[in-house]
């Protein structure tokens, strides 16, 4: 496996960051300086900045949602001894946070040992929105909806909802799908406004709900599937039950989740078609050049209604009666 993909799968860093480490000569493989694009495996001895990398890529994957309190660092460790999000979760797995929340920002943060999921969520092309509850000292900023020009470039337009005014303070929900450093704060401070409170409420459709501050829970299989699909196409339990009803299928409660995962697996493979580059492929009307040979049109008299109804199990008003199957 390519070195950047291998190390990112372990959750070391994003592929771009790994490539940067390689350019800076910070990674060695079997006592040799790593090179961009080289293939490695878990049998190789890999060091980053002199520290050995644990390469158990087949370790059981775990996924957690944490309601991060204030003054907790979004990191795996801290050389200054500050409490981190990893310290709040009891697990024997080497987990790491997916993205970051500021030291003075609270709310929803995900942690895992699944580097592939990490890359899917933090990738610039990810379309998963993160929703924040914000209190500022001033009124609403319309410019947020259009994107804000920061030092590292203009942000994508933000979604604003739930605006409430209280004297000289304003509370609102801001949804963004980028993950720049201190992005919400910098967007608001750009206009000279002060952020009084900032809390992340949702990542896509994943919500804190009634999860208390400082507590955590494991993600369900459906939630993990949802994140793997980039917040798209994942079927909810209600949608699966609706499909089952339309298909005249009956499931026990324990079977529903299995069916849900299998359907989402199918959708995930279909979604992979979007990654195929078809820009240089000529559109096809037919798969092959075969031509259909139609028989010559020949008009024949149709059966009389009375004769047709003789073979019908039940009839009424010159029509065949069939069981009702829609709308039950």
Catalytic site residue 39?
Answer: no
Q: Which of 58, 78, 92, 102 is catalytic?
A: 102
Write the secondary structure of the chain as one string of H (helix), E (strand) and C (coil). CEHHHHHHHCCCCCHHHHHHHHHCCCEEECCEECCCCCECCCCCCEEECCEECCCCCCCCCCEEEEEECCCCECCCCCCCCCCECHHHCCCCCCCEEECCCCCCCEEEEEEECCHHHHHHHHCCCCCCCEEEEEEECCCCCHHHHHCCEECCEECCCCEEEEEEEECCEEEEEEEECCCCCCHHHHHHHCCCCCEEEEEEEEECCEECCCCCCCCEEECCHHHHHHHHCCCCCCCCHHHHHHHHHHCCCCCCHHHHHHHHHHHHHHHHHHHHHHHCCCCCCCCCCCCCCCCCCCCCCCCCCCCCHHHHHHCCCCEECCEECCCCCCCC
- Residues with catalytic function: 102
């Amino acid at each position: 496996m390519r070195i950047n993909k291998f190390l990112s799968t372990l959750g070391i860093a994003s592929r771009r960051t790994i490539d940067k480490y390689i350019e800076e000569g910070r990674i060695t493989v079997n006592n040799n300086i790593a090179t961009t694009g080289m293939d490695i495996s878990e049998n190789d001895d890999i060091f980053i900045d002199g520290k050995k990398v644990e390469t158990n890529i087949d370790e059981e994957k775990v996924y957690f949602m944490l309601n991060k309190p204030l003054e907790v660092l979004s990191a795996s460790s801290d050389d200054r001894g500050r409490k981190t999000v990893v310290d709040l979760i009891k697990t024997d797995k080497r987990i790491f946070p997916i993205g970051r929340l500021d030291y003075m920002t609270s709310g929803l943060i995900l942690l895992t040992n699944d580097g592939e999921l990490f890359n899917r969520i933090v990738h610039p092309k990810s379309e998963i929105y993160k929703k924040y509850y914000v209190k500022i000292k001033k009124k609403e900023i319309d410019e947020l909806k259009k994107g804000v020009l920061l030092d590292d470039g203009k942000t994508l337009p933000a979604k604003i909802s739930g605006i409430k005014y209280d004297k000289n303070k304003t509370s609102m929900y801001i949804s963004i799908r980028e993950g720049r450093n201190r992005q919400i704060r910098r967007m608001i401070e750009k206009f000279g406004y002060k952020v009084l409170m900032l809390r992340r409420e949702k990542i896509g459709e994943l919500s804190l709900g009634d999860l208390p501050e400082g507590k955590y829970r494991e993600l369900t299989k459906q939630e993990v599937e949802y994140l793997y699909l980039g917040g798209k196409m994942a079927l909810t339990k209600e949608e699966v039950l609706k499909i089952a009803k339309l298909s005249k299928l009956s499931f026990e409660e324990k079977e529903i989740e299995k069916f849900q995962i299998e359907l989402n697996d199918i959708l995930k493979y279909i979604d992979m078609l979007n990654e195929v580059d078809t820009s240089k492929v000529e559109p096809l009307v037919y798969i092959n050049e075969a031509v259909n040979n139609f028989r010559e049109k020949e008009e024949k008299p149709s059966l009389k209604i009375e004769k047709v109804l003789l073979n019908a199990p039940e009839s009424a008003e010159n029509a065949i009666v069939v069981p009702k199957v829609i709308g039950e």
